């Protein structure tokens, strides 16, 4: 019997490692100091999931024909960060856009019961910020 695969890592191909790591540090990820100088960085998240960033140098080392995905609509990958409350969504969106990151969707009360917003990371990937609109309903 074959074991069922499970999602273990989310990988991002980035154009500027330092800019990407700074963005994700602002979202609370514990990324080691000095990682900006590496072509590939991985961190383990609480719960065991890993996230990795790659400039493409490592990929090109085993696939010389590889080319970087085109930047654009921010739909190459989607990450969602659960916030403590609807007010925390608003505050984090304001902090990130105030720091110069592009807002894609201002905070709003989504019909599915969440306070929801989207910012773009330095490579144009959409990053969702959300919290249950009713803090008593964590399933929202």
Domain coordinates in residue numbering, the chain: 1-62, 72-140
Neighbouring-strand partners of residue 116: 108, 130
Query: Is residue 88 within a helix (H) or strand (E), and if so which, with residue range?
Result: helix 86-98
> What integer pLDDT is reported at residue 57 of this predicted model?
81
Alpha-carbon distance 94 to 90, whole Å? 6
Instruction: List the one residue out of 64, 62, 53 whose CA is nearest residue 12.
Output: 53
Per-residue pLDDT tens digits for 12-42 = 888 899 999 999 999 999 999 999 999 889 9
Q: What's domain 72-140's architecture?
A: Roll (3.10)
Residue 72 has pLDDT above 80, yes or no: no
pLDDT band at 135 (very low <50, low <70, confident <90, very high): low
- pTM for this model (two decimals): 0.71
Return the biggest CA–CA distance within the chain: 52
pLDDT at 71: 63
Q: How far apart are CA 117 and CA 123, in angstroms?
A: 18
What kind of fold does domain 1-62 have according to CATH?
A: 2,3-Dihydroxybiphenyl 1,2-Dioxygenase; domain 1 (3.10.180)
- Same fold yes or no, 1-62 and 72-140: yes
Structure tokens at 15: 């154009």
């Amino acid at each position: 019997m074959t074991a069922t695969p499970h999602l273990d890592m989310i990988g991002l191909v980035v154009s500027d490692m330092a800019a990407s790591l700074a963005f994700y540090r602002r979202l609370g990820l514990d990324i080691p100091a000095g990682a900006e100088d590496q072509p590939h960085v991985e961190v383990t998240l609480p719960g065991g999931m890993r996230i990795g960033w790659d400039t493409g140098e490592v990929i090109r080392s085993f696939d010389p024909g590889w080319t970087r995905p085109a930047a654009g609509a921010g739909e190459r990958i989607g990450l969602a960060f659960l916030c403590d409350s609807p007010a925390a969504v608003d505050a984090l969106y304001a902090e990130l856009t105030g720091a110069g990151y592009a807002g894609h969707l201002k905070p709003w009360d989504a019909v599915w019961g969440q306070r929801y917003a989207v910012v773009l990371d330095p490579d144009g990937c959409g990053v969702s910020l959300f919290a249950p609109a009713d803090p008593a309903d964590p399933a929202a």
